[in-house]
Amino acid sequence: MGLQLYNSLSRRKEEFKPLQEGRVGMYVCGPTVYGHAHLGHAKSYVSFDVLVRYLRYLGYTTTYIQNITDVGHLTDDADEGEDKIAREAAKERKHPMAIAEYYTRSFFEDMDQLNCVRPDISPRASGHIIEQIELVRELIEKGYAYEVNGSVYFDVVKFKDYGKLSGRNIEEMVAGARIEPSPDKKNPVDFALWKKAEPNHIMQWPSPWGAGYPGWHLECSVMAMKYLGKTIDIHGGGLENQFPHHECEIAQSEAANGVPFVVTWLHNNMVTVDGQKMGKSLNNFITLKQAFVGEHERLKQAYEPLAVRQLVLNSHYRSPLDFSDAALFAANSGHQKITEAVKAVRKQIKTAAAGELDADVARQLETFKARFEEAMNDDLNTSVALSVLFDLVRLTNRLIESGTTRATLSAIDDLFTKLGGDVLGIVKNDYAEAAGGNDEAVGKLVGVLIDQRASARKAKDFAAADAIRNSLDEAGIALEDKPEGTQWRWK
RNA sequence: GGCGGCGUAGCCAAGUGGUCUAAGGCGACGGUUUGCAAAACCGUUAUUCGUCGGUUCGAAUCCGACCGCCGCCUCCA
């Protein structure tokens, strides 16, 4: 059985079949860049990163598009809402584009840390204003949109499929509307395609309807179409974007093109902190930068970026992830265990005896690979895929203890690299013995102390030996006495 | 109020009709190893899956009620 994905549109798992043999076009809603990325971004982008990686592992040539929203959208859908980027710009006394640029760089930095592959294209909304205006014009021409006072709205009742993704119907929504309907709209559920800009609005562009800026659903439709075509294989995003954002994307795109916009819709679930939804407006979010340095009242220590990644992969992308320091700590310990095993294999390969690949081990590796693929094929069950990796860790450590051939160790390393590295992204290709220029000097100094301690131990002066070990421990360095000698590592 | 989801060991979490007396990780405990540790390995840690009923030869898995929690319906990954 091939890859099965849960399609939010059909509400069931479907066999994945790309429109074009061997090629996949995938679009994922990117961040609005007015603040540093947080744990929620990590869950979303790590989840889709693993999908991209797995598609490539399966041999699909995959084009991955993830937009950058650098045109501020309104803080609410009522007309008096504020532009988020503009608000941040005013606060920091900078140009809105400077804010967008700054947080775009910050975002890429964090995603790199999480070992997410860069999208093939990271299109900016501000760079596609012309295309957006074109789409609005087309929608007006086709009778799906209307202009009022310099703003253009999508006429929702004209698009009969509206609600098919989120399972809503227009009548109920009209009846249950909570916000004051804008007097300009024909219908309260209509949404803005183009907004008239007030004179003091910095981010504005000329258009056939006067100076203004695009509505917040428009960019994704336009950029997905431009780079991937009128119908795309996969569109991903956070669950909270299913409505209204994705529903509106469908309406705009399908009204304009007359063909299905997306074959497979994928939605990842949310991150909660202590059982509470984490959101930018709730002020309870933990940024990735805070997690990486451990500076947050809910964090007891700094955590490796890949530990955060592993925490995300420990549960399913469609399940909510309730964040806690304890959960991160556990993921971190587990990640260290995997890392240590990989390092140990690679180290022993250098000194292992030549010889045939152990047939029994080869068989087990085949089984692991099959179990891994079976799990990933089942709507990306990364939790089970991870468990296979832990089985591989146990096998590895046993073999390292008993000793085996270089070919066998290479086969193990290869599997770690493919499954843990290429697909899950939690195993690195290279582990520097000690990172950074200073560490070489540290290594020498620690080496001197290790020698002194060895002499003390030889002389059975364990008090002196332990004193050295304790001082190093306080400096954050752990010593491990192995058969081949004493090793040190940062704690 | 409308719509959707969830409740599995101390914690995280997979499993969604029989192979489940329920993966995997963390933690804890015991053992091997060690001068002592660390790391690693071996073993133990849910006869039970929110509660109560029902369907079935058979349920953690299906149905109903109840309790608790969460999300969407307004920007948000």
| CA dist A22 → A55, A227, A345 (Å) | 10, 17, 34
Residue A234 DSSP SS3: strand
Nucleotide nearest to A332 in CA–C1' terms: B26
Closest C-alpha to A10, from A253, A266, A251? A266
Confidence grade of residue A184 (pLDDT, cut at 50, 70, 90): confident
Distance A5 CA to B51 C1' (A): 34
Residues with Cβ < 8 Å from A212, sequence gap 6 or more? Answer: A150, A151, A194, A195, A196, A197, A204, A205
Note the pLDDT of residue A175.
55
Protein-contacted bases of chain B (C-beta within 7 A)? 1-4, 6, 11-15, 23-27, 34-42, 69-77
pLDDT in tens, A387-429: 999 999 999 999 999 989 999 999 999 999 999 999 999 999 9
Distance A487 CA to B34 C1' (A): 14
Confidence grade of residue A281 (pLDDT, cut at 50, 70, 90): low
pLDDT in tens, A57-91: 999 999 999 999 998 665 443 344 567 788 788 88
Nucleotide nearest to A386 in CA–C1' terms: B24
More confident residue, A491 or A206: A206
Paired tokens of A477:
């360095």
Note the pLDDT of residue A474.
84
Distance A27 CA to B2 C1' (A): 31
pLDDT in tens, A424-448: 999 999 886 544 446 678 888 888 9
Q: What is the ipTM score, two decimals?
A: 0.93
Which residue's CA lies closest to nucleotide B41 at its C1' atom?
A398
Nucleotide nearest to A73 in CA–C1' terms: B75
Distance A8 CA to B65 C1' (A): 29
Amino acid at A294: G
pLDDT in tens, A218-240: 999 999 999 999 999 999 999 88
Q: Is A257 exposed, middle or buried (0-12, 13-18, 19+ CB in 10 A)?
A: middle
Nucleotide nearest to A32 in CA–C1' terms: B76
Distance A274 CA to B7 C1' (A): 16
Which residue's CA lies closest to nucleotide B1 at its C1' atom?
A176
In order, the DSSP letters of A140-185 are HHTTSEEEETTEEEE-GGG-TTTTTTTT--HHHHHHH--SPPPTT-
How far, in Å, CA of A253 to CA of A231, rounded? Answer: 9
Q: According to DSSP H, which parts of A302-381 are helical?
A: 305-314, 325-351, 359-377
Distance A375 CA to B49 C1' (A): 22
| CA dist A173 → A152, A163, A176, A187, A244 (Å) | 21, 10, 5, 10, 11
Distance A388 CA to B9 C1' (A): 21
How far, in Å, CA of A161 to CA of A247, rounded? Answer: 9
Do A462 and A449 form a contact (C-beta atoms < 8 A)?
A: no
Mean pLDDT (chain A) is 89
Nucleotide nearest to A457 in CA–C1' terms: B35
More confident residue, A168 or A19: A19
Instruction: Check residue A66 and give left, alpha or beta (phi > 0: left; psi -120 to 50: alpha).
Output: beta
Confidence grade of residue A290 (pLDDT, cut at 50, 70, 90): very high
pLDDT in tens, A315-369: 999 998 888 899 999 999 999 999 999 999 998 998 888 989 999 999 999 999 9
